[in-house]
Amino acid sequence: MQNLSLSREEALERCQHGGTVLCLDVPQGVEFGIDLRSYTVGPRFRGVKMVPPHGVHMITCGNEIEQTGVFVSLRPSETCAMSWDAPTETLKLLDDAAMREQLTHAVQRMELDAFLGPYPLATEGQWHELSDLVTEDVLRRAGVPAGTFIMPGGIDDDDEGDDIQAQQHLQPYFDGMARVAHFVQLDPRKQRTQRGHGRTGAALSQFHIDRSEWLRELLACDYGSESTGGCRGSSDGGGGGGEKGDGTHVAGSAAAAAAAEAALLGELQLAYLLFLRISSLRALEHWKACVHLLCHCEAALLDRPRLYARLLRILRAQLALAPRDFFEDELSADNFLRDALANLAELAVGQPLGPQLEAEFGQLWGFLATHFGLTLEALRAGALDEEDEPVVVVYADL
């Protein structure tokens, strides 16, 4: 395993205080991965040591055709024990408590050290940037809490089941079986609830031109504290709240708004990682829908600077993994992301964004120019060309 150069003392410190993922009886030739790295299992492999004891980590296993994944969260010096399940040809959590305790003691005595590969510390910072908002709550909302093995799933797998109520009825009947992640439905036309229906005329046109109102409803009703219902007409604005003499309601509303925004972005990160690590096309479609939504919210861009500052940092981290010819290659040049970023650029340029968000946009445009050769001017020019094309408008109730 490729790693950073550590002194003997540093390596011992990380062995003793880092987490350990044990993977027993994995056949040779199986592809095993942790976070951003994958390896082919050899005859002595028993797992990974020095796992950073913060945030979530993603374990993957499988072959070139299909991969499954599982998120784990480790405390300092904690051991997560898995074993190979021959009938399903994948890993499963070890359910024998006595065996888990025995293995934990063996790890603490460093008896298994020779069979454990070091965590790829060279990618630790990059993984944190890609996963820092993927919390247990985010995983639970997607129906894949930590310790649950995840299958890729197809684009059309139970397309109507993308809501929290449906998730509760789609869990497998047997513990330990892999599941497909389910996401909040971001298309208002496919939402099971009747929120937002009945718009006509100018209100409907504005709703589709600027998705800020729909974003507000999603944050309040699907990602926020009101996700169990009662959201009609709710509004958290840009993170503020009602007034109260002692200011507690305002502070509480701001905290709730921040939590909802983090939940949305955490789901965006989760979708990206599931596509990246186990090739989930379902997750890819959700990531695309989420990016498209956030890049078409003119009012929210000004009202929610915290949300967009975080979004831009996340997009930079995700795009850093794309090949440098991503916007030029014949197969990927004409991709939705270029259009989404072009629209975001049109919304942002010339607006009073504030120093922090302005700086984040500057870093994004600079990154696109240096990493891909895609300048802000080229992005905006593409957006202007598209505006000259004919547009078909269909008037109907939402």
pLDDT in tens, 51-78: 999 999 999 999 888 899 999 999 999 9
The dihedral through the CA atoms of 372, 377, 383, 388 has a sign that is negative
pLDDT digits (tens, 9 = 90+) for 313-330: 999 999 999 999 888 876
> What pLDDT shows up at residue 168?
44
Q: Is the pLDDT of residue 229 over 90?
A: no
Say which range, 107-121, 166-180, 202-216, 355-369, has the weakest mean pLDDT.
166-180
Q: Is the pLDDT of residue 157 over 70?
A: no
Coil, strand, or helix at residue 90?
A: strand
> What pLDDT shows up at residue 205?
64
CA–CA distance, 178 with 89 (Å, rounded to integer): 12
Q: Is the pLDDT of residue 109 over 60?
A: yes
Query: CA dist 222 to 6, 225, 239, 246, 305, Å?
Result: 45, 8, 16, 29, 20
Coil, strand, or helix at residue 179?
A: strand
Q: Which residue has the higher pLDDT, 169 or 89?
A: 89
Q: Is the pLDDT of residue 262 over 50?
A: yes
What residue has token string 């904690």? Answer: 78
> What pLDDT shows up at residue 202?
64
Query: CA dist 56 to 67, 117, 138, 276, Å?
Result: 18, 19, 11, 16
Q: From edge to edge, which strands make up the β-sheet containing 47-51?
A: 90-93, 79-85, 19-24, 47-51, 116-118
What residue has token string 């934990």? Answer: 104
> What pLDDT shows up at residue 11?
84
> What pLDDT shows up at residue 240?
42
Q: Is the pLDDT of residue 233 over 90?
A: no
Domains of the chain with CATH codes: 8-132 (2.60.34.20), 141-387 (no CATH)
Alpha helices in 231-280 (DSSP H): 248-278
> What pLDDT shows up at residue 64?
83
Query: What is the pLDDT confidence band of residue 394, given thresholds at 50, 70 and 90?
Result: very low
CA–CA distance, 133 with 139 (Å, rounded to integer): 10
Query: CA dist 217 to 122, 125, 370, Å?
Result: 40, 33, 37
What residue has token string 């709240």? Answer: 241
Query: What is the pLDDT confidence band of residue 230, given thresholds at 50, 70 and 90?
Result: very low
Say which range, 7-16, 27-36, 222-231, has the weakest mean pLDDT.
222-231
pLDDT digits (tens, 9 = 90+) for 2-24: 556 778 888 888 888 999 999 99
Q: What is the DSSP letter of 18?
A: S
Q: Which residue has the higher pLDDT, 394 or 116?
A: 116
What residue has token string 């550590």? Answer: 6
What residue has token string 């709730």? Answer: 256
Q: Is the pLDDT of residue 376 over 70?
A: yes
Q: Are the CB atoms for 270 and 181 separated by under 8 Å?
A: yes
> What pLDDT shows up at residue 388?
45
Q: Which residue has the higher pLDDT, 158 or 375?
A: 375
Q: Is 145 exposed, middle or buried (0-12, 13-18, 19+ CB in 10 A)?
A: middle
Q: Is the pLDDT of residue 228 over 50?
A: no
Coil, strand, or helix at residue 58?
A: strand
Q: To the nearest whole percent, how much of the chain has pLDDT over 70? A: 77
Q: Is the pLDDT of residue 249 over 90?
A: no
Q: Are the CB atoms for 183 and 167 separated by under 8 Å?
A: no
> What pLDDT shows up at residue 192?
59
Say which range, 28-37, 146-155, 170-179, 381-390, has the weakest mean pLDDT.
381-390
CA–CA distance, 121 with 26 (Å, rounded to integer): 23
The dihedral through the CA atoms of 160, 163, 166, 167 has a sign that is positive
Q: Is the pLDDT of residue 382 over 80?
A: no
The pair phi, psi for residue 372, each rounded to 5°, is -120, -10
> What pLDDT shows up at residue 156?
66
Query: What is the pLDDT confidence band of residue 397, given thresholds at 50, 70 and 90?
Result: very low
Q: Is the pLDDT of residue 362 over 50?
A: yes
Average the pLDDT over 324-343 and give the result: 83
Q: Is the pLDDT of residue 88 over 50?
A: yes
Coil, strand, or helix at residue 199?
A: coil
Residues sharing a CB contact under 8 Å with residue 381, sequence separation 6 or more, in sequence order: none
> What pLDDT shows up at residue 194?
54
Q: Are the CB atoms for 35 and 127 separated by under 8 Å?
A: yes
Element (H, E) at 69: strand 67-72
Q: From edge to edge, which strands make up the β-sheet containing 37-40?
A: 37-40, 31-34, 57-62, 67-72, 149-151, 179-180
- Determine if the pTM surpasses 0.85: yes
